Structure 1
Amino acid sequence: MLFLISFAALVSAVAARPSLNFLENHFTADNESEEVRSEAIKRLLEVFGMDDPPAIHGHKQAPQYMLDLYNTVADVDGVTKDPYILEGNTVRSFFDKLHSEQVEFRFNLSTVAMTEKILTAELHLFKLRPQGTTTFHRHHFCQVSVYQLLDTSTHEKKLLSSRLIPVHSTGWEVFTITQAVRSWVVDESSNLGLHVVVRTLGGSQMDMKMIRFASGRNHHQSKQPMLVLFTDDGRRSTSLESIDPNDTEATSTLPQAPMSGPPSRTARSLDYSEEEGTSSPCQRLPLYVDFEEIGWSGWIVSPRGYNAYHCKGSCPFPLGQNMRPSNHATVQSIINALKLIKGIDTPCCVPDKLFSINLLYFDDAENVVLKQYNDMVAGSCGCQ
C-alpha cells in the first residue's frame, strides 16, 4: 500500500511539472524573442547614426539654449517646423572642462567626427554684473577679444574674435571661433584652449571686477561657459524631399486616423471588409514610436516619442487623384485591370511625402546634441 501511495505521488509530481520539451521550447522562444529585440534596437540605433546607446550617469539637465533651439526648430513631436531654420543638421553643445578662475576655457571635442563639416562655432559666455562702482561711470564700453592658444610655453596666441560690449550689461555674449574649432577637429593635440582678454577703449587692461564672466567652478550650470557647434554630417534625404509639415495641402485629401487608443473591431473593419473581401483605400494610419518603451528615455531629452505614421490600403482601378498616383502607378493599374500581362500586381500604398524629426539627446561624453534626421515621418500616402 505504501508503495502504491509513493508511486501515485511521484506520478502526480511528474504530471504537474512541465515537460523537458516544453521548457526547452519556452527557453528557445524567449531567446529568439530577445535576439529579435536586440537586433531591432541595433538597427534603430543605426538609423540614428549610433553604434550603442549613450551611457548617462545620474540626472542631467540640458542647457537652456539647446532647449530653446529645439523648441524653435521642432514641434511637440519633434517634427521639423522648417527645414531651413538650422544651419546643417547637427548642433552640439560643450561645457568648459578647464574650470579656471581665469578667463581661459577648454572644450573636449573628441565626440566630433572628422567627417563632419564644421559650419559655425560659437563661444557663449555669460556676462555678470560689474562689482566695481567707483569706476563704473568712467567706462561705458569695453573691448572683449577671444584668442586661440597656440603654445603654452611661449604664450603665443591668435586673435579669433573681438568686439565692443557695454560694461553695465548682463547676459549671454556670443563670439564666433569657427577657425580654431576646425583646426582642433583636424588635430586634437592643437586644442590648447581659449583665452579672453578685456581692455578699455584706450587699450589698457580692464579691471576684472568690472567685467566678469561666469565660470564653471563658481556659478550655476545654467551660466557656465559653453561652446556651440553647428555641423553637417553629410547625410541627405535618400528618397523623398521633406517639406513643411504644417502644409495642410500634403494631407488634406487623406483620411486622418485617431492618434491613439486600443485596436477595436471597428478599427479593424477600416482596414479590411470581410463581407466584401476588399481592403480600404490607401490611407495614412498612426505608428507611434515610444522611446521610453524602447528604453531610451534616459538619454533622449526630447521628444519622448513621435508618430511616424504608416501607409496602408489598396490602390484599385481606376486610381483617382485622391490616391495621389504617379503616372507609373496609373499605367500599372491599367495593365493589371486589363490583364494584359500575367503577374502584374496593383500599385502599392506608400509614403509620397516624408518629414524629418529632431532629437535632443546626451552623447557619450554627456554633451547635449540636437540632430535632425530626414525621412522619419510619413507626411502623406499615395499609390506608387
Structure 2
Amino acid sequence: MDTSLLFIYPLLSYLLLVDCSEIPFQERMLLKALGLNGRPKPVAPGPVPKTLWKIFEKGINADNPCRMEGFQVPGNIVRSYKDQGPLSSNDMSHELLCLKKHLFFDLSVVEKKEKVTLGQLEIKFKHNTYQGQEFQLQLYRPLHMTLKSMRDHKTSRKLLFAQSFRLHHKSLSFNLTKVAQDWTNTKNNMGLILEIFADGNTTMVNHLPSSCEHINSFIHASLLTVSLDPTSCKAPRIKRSTEPSMPTPSNICKKRRLYIDFKDVGWQNWVIAPRGYMANYCHGECPYPLTEMLKGTNHAVLQTLVHSIEPEVTPLPCCAPTKLSPISMLYYDNNDNVVLRHYEDMVVDECGCK
C-alpha cells in the first residue's frame, strides 16, 4: 500500500477545519499524495473529452482499480494533452497538399515510476460534411531533428500511418502507444508531422482550392494516454461475507459521516468532478473487552487486555479504518491537460480497533 495515501482523508478533514492561512504545508502534503507538485491554476483549459466523462461516470471497479476498463488496459491515470505544434507555412511542396501541421504534445508530466500502457491520437473535424471527395492522410515521426529546426526530407522522418478518408468522419484515431512510451523521455519527443492531401483520382483536382476548403474545418489534434502508477496499486481485494450490523452506543468506535466539498478547500477551479464526495472518518472508543463487531486486530485484543491490568501504562487501541475504497477524480493539471485518475483509500467504508 502507498503509505502516503493513508494521509489523504485526515488531511482533507484538517483542511476543512483550520484557518486558510494555516494550511499551505498540509495542502502540499495532500497534493503530493495526489501526484501533484502544486495547486493547478488552469489558464486556457480545453473541454473534457467525452471518453473521460464516460469512464468517470461508469465508476471504478473496486476489485481492480488499477485497470482502466474503458480501454481494457492496465492503468489508473488517463491524461488528455492539447496539441502545441504550429501550422506549417503556405509553401506547399506538393500540388495536392491541402494541410500540413506539426503536432507536439508535452508528456513531461508523466513521472518515471509510471508505465504508459496506451497512447491514442485523435484528429477532429468541425463539420460532418460530405461532398464526395476523398482525402489522403499521412502521419510521420521525425527521426533526427528538433521540431523547430525540422526540414522536409524523406530521410528525416518515418511514416507511421497512411489512410484515406472522407469528411463524413468527425474524427480519426490512431494507436501511438509505442511512440508515447518513447516520448516520456523528453529527448525522444520531436512531435509528429501531419499532412492531408486531396485525392489525385478525384474530379476535384482541377478545383484544388475548393476541394481543400473543407479541410480548413480541421480543429485540433489531441493525444490521450493511459498510464499505470504501480506505487498506488494494492493487491486485489478479498471479498468477505458481510455481517449484519448491530446497534452500538454512540461513543463506540464506528464510521462517521464526513462530506468533503472541494469548494471549501479552494479547489473548485481545477477539480472538474466530483465537486465533492463522502469521505467519512472513524471515531470512538475501543473498550475492554473488544467485541467481534469492533473488528479488533490480534494486537488490539492483547493491548486492551494489558490496558485492563495497567490502564495508566498502556492506552487503549485506536479507532481506525479497516476498509477503504477508491474514487475517480477529473481535473486540470499544471499544463492545462485534462486528467482522470483513480485514487485508492479515499473513502472510509468500515472502522475497527487497532
Measured in 2, the distance between the counterparts of 1:251 and 1:56 equals 46
Displacement of 1:170 in angstroms is 2.7
TM-score, normalising length from structure 1? 0.66
Residue 328 of structure 2 is aligned to residue 375 of structure 1: no
Alignment correspondent of 2:65: 83
| Mapped contact 1:110–1:188 kept (Cα < 8 A) | no
Offset at 1:377? 1.6
Percent of paired sites with the same residue = 24
Distance 1:254 1:60, change over 3 A: farther
Distance 2:30 2:338 in 1: 20
SS at match of 1:292: coil
Decide whether the 8 Å contact of 1:121 with 1:227 is kept in 2: yes
Match of 1:116 in 2: 114
Q: In the alignment, does 2:245 pair up with 1:253?
A: yes
**How far has the Cα of 1:219 moved from its partner?**
5.4
* Contact 1:243–1:354, Cα closer than 8 Å, also in 2: no
**CA separation of 1:59 and 1:102: change in aligned 2, threshold 3 A:** closer
Q: Within 2, Cα distance between the matches of 1:129 and 1:104?
A: 24
Q: Could you list the runs of 5+ residues in structure 1 that have no partner in the other structure?
A: 1-31, 137-141, 257-269, 272-279
Report if aligned partners of 1:242, 1:354 keep a CA contact under 8 Å in 2: no
Matched residue type, 1:147: Y
Number of the residue aligned with 2:222: 226
Instruction: Tell me if the contact between 1:255 and 1:283 (Cα under 8 Å) persists in the aligned partners.
Output: no
Aligned to 1:13: none
Q: Point out the structure with max Rg over C-alpha.
A: 1
- C-alpha separation in 1, matches of 2:280 and 2:107: 36
2:81 alignment partner, SS class: strand
Q: Distance in 1 between matches of 2:255 and 2:341?
A: 26
C-alpha distance in 1 between matches for 2:244 and 2:164: 50
For residue 37 of structure 2, the aligned residue among 42, 51, 54 is: 51
1:106-145 matches, within 5 Å, as: 106-126=104-124, 129=128, 131-133=130-132
Q: Which residue does the alignment assign to 2:173?
A: 174
Give the match's secondary structure for 1:333.
Answer: helix
The number of aligned residues is 309
Distance 2:243 2:329 in 1: 24
Q: 1:336 to 1:66 in 2, by over 3 A?
A: same
Note the C-alpha offset of 1:196. 5.5
Give the superposition deviation at 1:341: 8.4
Classify the secondary structure of the residue corresponding to 2:122.
strand
Q: Which runs of 5+ in 2 are unaligned?
A: 1-17, 69-73, 88-98, 145-149
Determine whether 1:149 maps to 2:135.
no
Pairing of 1:1-384 with structure 2 (within 5 A): 33=19, 35-57=21-43, 61-74=47-60, 83-86=65-68, 87-98=74-85, 100=87, 101-102=99-100, 104-126=102-124, 129=128, 131-133=130-132, 146-151=139-144, 152-153=150-151, 154-155=153-154, 156-160=156-160, 170-188=169-187, 190-195=189-194, 218=217, 224-236=220-232, 243=237, 253=245, 271=250, 280-337=251-308, 339=309, 343-384=313-354
Which residue matches 2:92?
Answer: none
One-letter amino acid of the counterpart of residue 340, structure 2 = L
- Give the C-alpha shift of residue 158 in structure 1: 2.4
Task: Give the whole-Å Cα distance in 2 for the aligned partners of 1:129 and 1:323.
Answer: 61
Hey, what's the Cα distance between the residues in 2 that align with 1:250 and 1:145?
57
